Chain A
Amino acid sequence: MRNMFSDAPRTTLTAFYWAFLLYLLLPLTLMMAMSFKDANFVAFPIGDWTLDWYAKVMQDKQFLEACLYSVMIAAASTLAATTLGTWIAMLIVAEGIKGQVIIFALACLPAVVPGMISAISMRIFISTIDMPTGTAAIILGHTVHAVPFVVVMALTRLRSMPGNLVDAARDLGADSVVAFFRVTLPYLGPALVGGMIFCVLLSIDDFVRTFFLGGYRPTLPMLIFAKVQGGMSPEINAMATLVLVVTAAVGLYAEYLTRRARTR
């Protein structure tokens, strides 16, 4: 009897865990399954299986262009966010700079402001400064959104860095620029790679900001959104499955990298 009672919380927890996993994976599994259906509409039963939808997606010029566009925006905003974020993190740990708490709070703000608010304010901002909507505006929006994540990751790594590594470099004849590129940056390396991959995922995934700041050229999420409005088709499922597989792989790799960085 005692055993049954003491095991109860654990059993419940395990049950919740499985329920959660099912809830998480079932929709994804269904979506993926439908992408292999040999028919024009998304519904059960699946009946015949096919890879035709994938073949079609791979030849879909719109899809390929959207992919390229998304990747380009992700690359640009990641580069900008990583540079900015690293710089801000360096400022925060630097000696003799006042208001470091404020810098940190400001840098983290974009991560907590609701996407919609930040998208609208960004839109108002760019029209105030007469900046056209489109690629540059999207990159700007994505960069601002991604900076906090880089700051936090770089900061964690910087704080674990022995203080006199840079002193040692200076002592051996490096000026502060050489010390940064030859000692600090390599030390930050793993954290930055992790942060960059995270930035890429944030950018590829972003809908709200792109929606408000974009022009006529669709990014991947915009394209899928437009297609869904035209009615569900297994082709969309195939697209979504491709995006899912690629981003999940990249995300897991980033997690692996940051984990390795933490244990080293």
Chain B
Amino acid sequence: MQPVFQFDNVTKSYGKHVAVENLNLSIEAGKFVTLLGPSGCGKSTSLRMLGGFETPNSGRILLGGKDVTRVPPNKRNVNIVFQDYALFPHMTIAKNIAFGLELKGFDNQHIHRRVNELLELVQLQDYAKRLPSELSGGQRQRVALMRALAPDPEVLLLDEPLSALDAKLRQQMQIELKSIQEKTGKTFMFVTHDQEEALTMSDTIVVMNKGRIEQMGDPNTLYGRPGSVFVANFIGETNLLRSTVVGTEGDTAALSWNGVTIKAAPGGLAPKAGDNLYVVLRPEAIHCSADEPATGNRIKGKVRQRVFKGNHTSLSVEVGDGALLNALVHPSDVAQLSGDDVWVGWKPETTTVIPDRHAHN
């Protein structure tokens, strides 16, 4: 299947600063893809290049198979939902949404029908005659989305559009965005630094760091099998255990970490004794119990801190030579722990092993 858009070895730099370096990315139509990364990772630059507001120094950008690298924004069939919405303050909601349609030369009847259809999609029919300043943040967000969708773009670009909303509204909008994407079947390219947003909505997440793609995959893979220390740290909470290989047995390796020996499956890494590895251990993979677990990795430790968070309790457990492990425990399990002495245990297959060469990232 032909990708709806494609970055072909794209590099963009500003003076000496390289914003995007040799970016290769191709996305299938109808996907919700998220560019995720810290500020300055090149995600917004990539979005602006696809939108036509920046021109790459080298490489090509293809849209629907056509080279659009040097096509100005008004001649590209992509639309952006801007971070601060950028609604035209002097136009009514209906006029805002109609703007792109008018410029495409549709007749009034068609425009009217399309605007109403879009307003209905987000239940804003009664607000057609209002000005943007008379709407709430969430409503403006929806209008901005509909204005960008109105001209029926090949790709809809969303530039951190939820960052101005409060936490509750943001969660609501995440679900709404996803359902609008599914209803319309459009390709959405969403840019954010918020890993939770990315995990909630995306079909594909592209994690970017320092102008390069760090890892790309569906949310499950990225969370469960991070390919680098950067990804492991950026997505979700992590215990990162830097350990040394002691020996291997079949597809399990015995590792020395912090004075204790643990087991992990290094997958295709084929480590030798003496190699350094990172073990990614998610806090929810850890079980805490008063008695020693029968199987899996198990270490005796002392609880140093308990933070009650409603649906779970976060325990900070000191193990081995003084390292702290962060564990998420169900409140009822915490009640069964007597005193501060606990066993922490986890199944080796719940961890991911990352080679040390990624460590410098």
Residues in B neighbouring A164, C-beta threshold 8 A: 82-84, 86
Residues in A neighbouring B88, C-beta threshold 8 A: 165, 168-169, 183, 186
Q: Quick one: which of B46-80 are within 8 Å of A by CB?
A: 51-53, 72-75, 78-80
Residues in B neighbouring A63, C-beta threshold 8 A: none
Is B104's CB under 8 angstroms from A167's CB?
no
Is B53's CB under 8 angstroms from A167's CB?
yes
Residues in B neighbouring A178, C-beta threshold 8 A: 103
Interface of A is mostly: helix
Q: Quick one: which of A185-205 are within 8 Å of B by CB?
A: 186-187, 189
Count of A-B contacts with CB under 8 A?
64
Total interface residues on B, CB under 8 Å, equals 26
Q: Quick one: which of B147-161 are within 8 Å of A by CB?
A: 147-148, 151
Asked if A171 CB lies within 8 Å of chain B CBs, one says: yes
Is B74's CB under 8 angstroms from A175's CB?
yes
Distance in Å: Cβ of A200 to nearest Cβ of chain B = 24
Residues in A neighbouring B219, C-beta threshold 8 A: none
Asked if B183 CB lies within 8 Å of chain A CBs, one says: no
Is A173's CB under 8 angstroms from B86's CB?
no
Distance in Å: Cβ of A184 to nearest Cβ of chain B = 10
- Give A186 to B80 CA distance when docked, in angstroms: 22
**Most chain-A Cβ atoms within 10 A of its Cβ — which of B51, B78, B86?**
B86
Chain B residue with the shortest CB-CB distance to A165? B86
Total interface residues on A, CB under 8 Å, equals 19
Picked from B79, B83, B84, the residue with its CB within 8 Å of the CB of A171 is: B79
Residues in B neighbouring A182, C-beta threshold 8 A: 99
Distance in Å: Cβ of A247 to nearest Cβ of chain B = 29
Picked from A165, A170, A172, A264, the residue with its CB within 8 Å of the CB of B147 is: A172
Query: 0/1 per residue, B210-250, Cβ < 8 Å to A?
Result: 00000000000000000000000000000000000000000
Is B86's CB under 8 angstroms from A168's CB?
yes
Is B100's CB under 8 angstroms from A173's CB?
yes
Asked if B90 CB lies within 8 Å of chain A CBs, one says: yes
Is A168's CB under 8 angstroms from B74's CB?
no
Picked from B51, B83, B89, the residue with its CB within 8 Å of the CB of A187 is: B89
**Most chain-B Cβ atoms within 10 A of its Cβ — which of A165, A171, A178, A264?**
A171
Is B80's CB under 8 angstroms from A171's CB?
yes
26 A-B contact pairs sorted by A residue (CB < 8 Å) = A162-B84, A162-B86, A165-B88, A165-B89, A167-B82, A168-B82, A168-B88, A170-B53, A170-B72, A171-B51, A171-B52, A171-B73, A171-B74, A172-B74, A172-B99, A172-B103, A172-B148, A172-B151, A173-B100, A173-B104, A174-B74, A175-B72, A183-B88, A186-B88, A186-B90, A187-B89
Q: Contacts A167-B53, A172-B100 known; list 16 others, CB within 8 Å.
A: A164-B82, A164-B83, A165-B86, A167-B73, A167-B82, A167-B86, A170-B73, A170-B74, A171-B78, A172-B79, A172-B103, A172-B148, A172-B151, A174-B99, A174-B103, A186-B90
